[in-house]
Amino acid sequence: MAPVRTHCAYCALQCAMTLTRAAATPNGSTSLQVSPLDFPTNRGGLCQKGWTAADLLDSPHRLTTPLVRNSRAEPFEPVSWDTALDVVVRGIRSIQSQHGDDAVAVFGGGGLTNEKAYQLGKFARTVLRTKNIDYNGRYCMSSAAAASNRAFGIDRGLPFPLPDLAQTGAVLVMGGNMAETMPPFMQHLAAVRARGGDVVVVDPRRTSTAEQATLHLQPRPGTDLALALGLLHVAFSDGHLDRPYLAERTRGFDEVWRIAAQWWPGRVERETGVPVADLQAAIRAIARGRSGRGAVILTARGVEQHSKGTDTVTALINLSLALGLPGRRHSGFGCVTGQGNGQGGREHGQKADQLPGYRRIDDPAAREHVAAVWGVDPADLPGPGPSAYELLDSLGTAGGPRALLVHGSNLVVSSPRGGRVSERLANLDLLVVCDPFLSETAAQADVVLPVTQWAEEDGTMTNLEGRVIRRRRATDPPEGVRSELDVLTDVAERLGHHGRFSAEPQMVFDELRRASAGGVADYAGITWERIDREGGVFWPCPSEDVPGTARLFADGFPTPDGRAAMVAVDHRPVVEDVDPEYPVYLTTGRNLQHYQSGTQTGRVPALAAALGEPYVEIHPDLAARHDLDDGVRVRVVSRRGAAVGRVRLVTSIRWDTVFMPFHWGGEQAVNQVTNPALDPVSRMPEFKVCAVRLEPVR
């Protein structure tokens, strides 16, 4: 076969690659080989996950036939697609006739293509007519999105092309470890260093990313907001504010400063543990870069996955505005999107409060526009539903959903307080999971439907820059496997919605273009042919006659008055602080070999061999106090549950904090431990800090 140009199966960097069918082996089998392409995000690089992505396609763990069981106590039985879909449709009809439309819920994923995310939202609201739909992106970008929307009037992770980063003079990375989560990204930071610029990294751990920085700030978990306020205080006191920019392009600085004025450097040091000298050095580095080639402030999950994540991102946006960065060449503020389609996944309707084009579902004009595209009465569209964790916590309760359809998510491993989520799933009358593999969530289901993977389907993705790109089919799926577009179309037909849905991804995308037209995330001018011709198109792009918008904010902000809104926020303590019973902070994250819940990477032999079990990073001083040696198993216990990992003694972490990656299930699932306390604005759970104790596993 000729090489097929496509993009990686994993993170939002969406590294470009080709897939080529290798020569047949003596037994007649063939496999796809991965070769990297020179693309603006990855510049010809791939990480270990990308190099091995094709191994997923012929994994012996693939599901190739639907599975059904009569009760959770019985084993699965393979059945035909007709039989499985009959079970699903009968269950939906029965449950909705007894309990109402909202008794059936839908849970999506940030890895679905734009077409599948769009179709899932349309299916939930026009076929099921349920308000209960959300997705795992709520656990990823919701705090950054909420902060960006209220400040800038738009949420696009990076409002500039990623190569701009390599041209800047200074970068502040708050809570990101790109050296492990998206290694090719590091080429852009390395270019900053190579030109004599500064890279400042803020993280409780001295990560691989921090190792390559010019300055590392190591705050106590949960104190990033105080740190951000302190940085603004130093910028003001040391004379680095851009006052003409503030006067011409922003509003609200006086209210912001009234709070930041109270966070003098000494107070910030006491609260965060970051020395005053480091605060001052960080601001000097950003100011030095700004006066030269430019400066950029980036956030990632480390500062966003908190019950005050929206306010922390807001404080950092305030800092970037006070320094006059957004809208200037090689400068600005951005959020590093995590999941492969984390950007597009939240734009087109699988989020509880949104319709396609990043429209609000409670906006009458938005409802009228989208309803016209869908051919329904605007009054028939449901209103906003609960956020992801709130939805999951209500499953099987009085008045809560009795059925759940899951697409592209492994809820049991990825949700906070995972034991509670597993209990709620067990209380459902019907759990249907679409997945290529029998994940921990699928293992609890009544019906499991085997669906296609990345290289077996056509579609589009929107990467961390807001660049819409093409995912191309390079191989046929195994016999018996269907696309989720096929599944949604078939179920819609069986429920009486004839001819309303298409299983052809390009037709779905063309409908998405019409539904998004005039919205914040306007895809109307983006076509598959244009993506192929231009190598990707940035949104917003309202017409085929205009270029995509690669750089936002150069001429103003999409707010009513054209100014960015600076919103006053103040630091507050973590929801669950340490105490004598739980004296240690826990923080979580990803590592180099694995991705998300490990459903994919855990089934790639090379990655599983490189790291087959979770570890717990512990400072030697803390380990000594708990009588823990390197390599022994330890139980990390919170008020909600426990997780087991192997001790890894490191001096790169704070003495009061332990770190554990979240890529495993069962007794190794650290999200059994994490806190579901929610941000009041974004409804993001507080994944990144909770109080734990350490118990040796004897």
Strand order in the sheet with 32-36: 4-7, 16-21, 32-36
Give the CA distances from residue 303 to residues 299, 497, 638, in Å, rounded to whole numbers and listed in that order.
7, 44, 21
Please return the burial class of 335, using the count of CB atoms within 10 Å of its CB with bins 0-12, 13-18 and 19+.
buried
Residues contacting residue 32 through CB under 8 Å, at least 6 positions apart? 19, 20, 21, 22, 54, 57, 455, 474, 475
Q: Please, which residues have CB within 8 angstroms of residue 145's CB and are 6 or more apart in sequence?
A: 155, 335, 346, 682
pLDDT in tens, 443-502: 999 999 999 999 999 999 999 999 999 999 999 999 999 999 999 999 999 999 999 999
- Per-residue model confidence as pLDDT tens digits over 550-591: 999 999 999 999 999 999 999 999 999 999 999 999 999 999
> Going by DSSP bridges, is the β-strand pair 675-678/615-618 parallel, antiparallel, or unpaired?
unpaired
Q: What is the 3-state secondary structure (H, E, C) of 587-624?
A: EEECCCCCCCCCCCHHHCHHHHHHCCCCEEEECHHHHH
Residue 355, SS3 per DSSP: strand
Confidence grade of residue 24 (pLDDT, cut at 50, 70, 90)? low
Place of tokens 């609260």: 271
d(CA 264, CA 232) in angstroms, rounded, equals 10
Q: Which residue has the tokens 């090689």?
A: 330
Please give the angle made by the CA atoms of 503, 504 and 508, to the nearest 5 degrees. 90
Q: Sort residue 681 into left (φ over 0), alpha (ψ -120 to 50) or beta.
A: alpha
The dihedral over CA atoms of 451, 456, 459, 461, expressed in degrees to the nearest 10, equals 90
Instruction: Taking residues 36-49, report their average pLDDT.
Output: 96
What tens digit of pLDDT does each residue of 400-458 get? 999 999 999 999 999 999 999 999 999 999 999 999 999 999 999 999 999 999 999 99
pLDDT of 523 = 98
pLDDT > 90 in the chain, percent: 98
Instruction: Judge if the upstream peptide bond of residue 542 is cis by omega within 30 degrees of 0.
Output: no
What lies within 8 Å, CB to CB, of 270 at 6+ separation is none
- Where are the strands (E) in 259-314, listed by range? 295-299
**Residue that is written with structure tokens 């996955």 in the block:** 305
Q: Is the pLDDT of residue 63 over 80?
A: yes
Residue 232, token pair as written in the block = 């603004």
Q: How many CB atoms lie within 10 A of CB 426?
A: 12
Q: Would residue 627 be called left, alpha or beta, if left means φ above 0 and alpha means ψ between -120 and 50 degrees?
A: left
Give the pLDDT score at 291. Answer: 93
Bridge partners for 32 per DSSP: 21
Q: Measured between alpha carbons, how far is 443 from 254 in angstroms, rounded to an integer?
A: 54
How confident is the model at residue 244, as a pLDDT?
A: 98
d(CA 133, CA 177): 31
CB within 8 Å of 174: residues ≥ 6 apart: 202, 224, 228, 297, 298, 299, 300, 302, 303, 316
pLDDT value of position 27 = 47
Residues with Cβ within 8 Å of 480's Cβ and at least 6 positions away in sequence, in order, are 64, 65, 81, 450
pTM: 0.96
Segment 243-277, tens digit of pLDDT:
999 999 999 999 999 999 999 999 999 999 999 99
Which region holds residue 685: left if phi is over 0, alpha if psi is between -120 and 50, else beta? beta
Please give the sequence-ordered ranges of beta strands (E in DSSP) within 2-50, or none if there are none.
Answer: 4-7, 16-21, 32-36
The span from the CA of 150 to the CA of 684, in Å, is 16
State the amino acid at position 390 in one-letter form: E
CB contact at 8 A, 310 and 317: no
d(CA 639, CA 642) in angstroms, rounded, equals 8
pLDDT single digits (tens) 291-350: 999 999 999 999 999 999 999 999 999 999 999 999 999 999 999 999 999 999 999 999
Give the tens place of pLDDT for each residue, 628-657: 999 999 999 999 999 999 999 999 999 999
The two structure tokens encoding residue 468 = 């819409």
pLDDT for 122 equals: 98
| DSSP letters for 421-450 | HHHHHHT-SEEEEE-SS--TTGGG-SEEE-
* Number of helical H runs and strand E runs in the chain: 25, 30
Residue whose token pair is 């309803």: 371
Are the CB atoms for 423 and 413 separated by under 8 Å?
no
- Name 190's Cβ contacts closer than 8 Å, sequence gap at least 6: 212
Structure tokens at 330: 């090689």
Beta-strand (E) ranges in 208-356?
Answer: 215-217, 250-251, 295-299, 332-335, 354-355
Please state, in angstroms and rounded to a whole number, the distance separating the CA atoms of residues 23 and 35.
15
The residue type of 199 is V
Q: What is the pLDDT of residue 23?
A: 65
Question: Can you give the pLDDT at residue 76?
Answer: 98
pLDDT value at residue 101: 98
* Type and span of the H or E element at 486: helix 484-494
SS3 content of the chain, % helix, strand, coil (to 5): 35, 20, 45
Buried b (16+ CB within 10 A) or exposed e, 281-301: bbbbbbbbbbeebbbbbbbbb
Inform me whether the pLDDT recorded for 25 exceeds 90.
no
Give residue for tokens 């597009």.
Answer: 344
DSSP 8-state class, residue 551: S
Whether 8 has a pLDDT exceeding 50, the answer reads: yes
User: Residue 28 — pLDDT band, cuts 50, 70, 90?
Assistant: very low
